Amino acid sequence: MKALGFIGAGNMAEALARGLIGNKVFKASELIASDVDAARRRRFKGALKVEVTTDNRRVLGESRAVLLAVKPQIIDAVLTELAAATREDGRDADSRRKPKRGRADRGGLASPLFISIAAGVTLGRLEGALGSGARVIRVMPNAPAMVGQGMAALVRGRHASRADEAFALSIFRAVGDAVALKDEGLLDAVTALSGSGPAYVYLFIKSLADAGAAEGLAPELALKMALKTVRGAEKNMRRSPLAAAELIRIVASPGGTTEAALKQLGADAFSDIVARAVKAAAERSRELGRVS
């Protein structure tokens, strides 16, 4: 049996597989991936030496855990196929054994653990499609996982165990960090903050660089300085025991340039703008969940 099978071999699946292999969580031989796109299969196999297939049922049959990395628009068809395969193979989701050492046990035709990263697809929808007793974990990762700096949050379904949760956490911690939440409703806030958050940071960096260029710096130099400034500030804030307000105070000398800039940001309601943006993203996430 494979330790983990990917249904969908896109960028996020590739990042996860790369992190798992690179951090020696699993060997390439312990993974398998399916995808309808021949180019994605070639890339997965060529770059990672992971076995690939077009057959989702094969992934299901050979894996202790299955990570659903397909687009929300097609997940219903995938879930229907997997549920049918489970029934045909006689694997009743209720006849499962407790997983050992954080891995889903497939002995005695036990059902696999399903881990979904499909945005907006609720636990209720996943469990309803996969059948009574299905062990499901829903995860909200983010794009920096592709460079090993991801932040993910997950919630386990009614039938998933703590060992299942620990197993899922180990997957996403291979490409950054991950936390477990008890309330699925909080995933809308997670989506708005860390899921969509990289775009906010890109916009801030672009705006900072554009402003520097407007003051006379060469655009390439302005971008380089903006990127390094954000990276340095993040590292300093992560390591410092001081609160954000105190770090700001240290940089903003009375009557100085930083104070002048902060006063303008305050006058333009910068913090309120950020709060409204996150709220808008969270509301949209809730809407998408209701539509699905």
- Cα 140 from Cα 57, distance rounded (Å): 25
Same-domain status, 222 and 172? no
Question: 133, 160, 187 — which closes off a domain?
Answer: 187
pLDDT at 43 over 80: yes
- Determine, yes or no, domain membership for 100: yes
What Å distances lie between residue 267 and 167, 257, 260, 270, CA to CA? 47, 16, 11, 8
Shared domain check, 78 and 171:
yes
Q: Does residue 104 have a pLDDT over 70?
A: no
pLDDT at 108: 42
Are 140 and 120 in contact, with CB atoms under 8 Å apart? no
Residue 151: inside a domain: yes
Query: End of a domain among 158, 187, 216?
Result: 187
Mean pLDDT across 196-215: 98
Model confidence at 292, pLDDT cuts 50, 70, 90, reads low
Q: 272 and 254 share a domain? A: yes
Is 233 in the same domain as 272? yes
Burial class (CB in 10 A: 0-12, 13-18, 19+), 59: buried
25 assigned to some structural domain: yes
The residue range of the domain holding 282 is 197-288
Instruction: Provide the pLDDT confidence category of residue 290 given band limits of 50, 70 and 90.
Output: confident
Query: Mean pLDDT over residues 238-253, rounded?
Result: 96
150 and 222 in a single domain? The answer is: no
pLDDT tens-digit series, residues 48-80: 999 999 999 999 999 999 999 999 989 999 999
Q: Which residues pair with 52 in a beta bridge?
A: 33
Is 192 part of any domain? no
32 and 176 co-located in one domain: yes
Confidence (pLDDT) at 132? 78
Residue 288: the pLDDT is: 82
d(CA 235, CA 93): 45
Residue 191 to residues 149, 197, 214, 269, 284, Cα–Cα distance (Å): 16, 8, 33, 23, 10
What CATH number is attached to the domain comprising 239?
A: 1.10.3730.10
Residue where a domain terminates, one of 130, 156, 187? 187
Same domain, 149 and 275: no
Select from 117, 112, 101 the least CA-distant residue to 150.
117
Instruction: Give yes or no: residues 164 and 237 share one domain.
Output: no
Question: Is 85 a domain residue?
Answer: yes
One domain for residues 105 and 48: yes
Residue with tokens 């001081």: 242
- The model's pTM is 0.87
Residue 181 within a domain: yes
Structural domain tally of the chain? 2
Q: Are residues 182 and 284 located together in one domain of the fold?
A: no
Smallest CA-to-CA distance from 12 within 39, 40, 38, 37 is with 40
Domain shared by 210 and 183, yes or no: no
pLDDT in the model for residue 183: 96
| Nearest in space to 114 (alpha carbons), one of 148, 81, 89 | 81
Average pLDDT over residues 29-38: 97
Q: CATH code at 162?
A: 3.40.50.720
Tell me whether residue 235 is in a domain: yes
pLDDT higher than 70, residue 110: no
Q: Do 133 and 277 lie in a common domain?
A: no
Maximum Cα interatomic distance, the chain, rounded to a whole number of Å = 74
SS3 156: strand
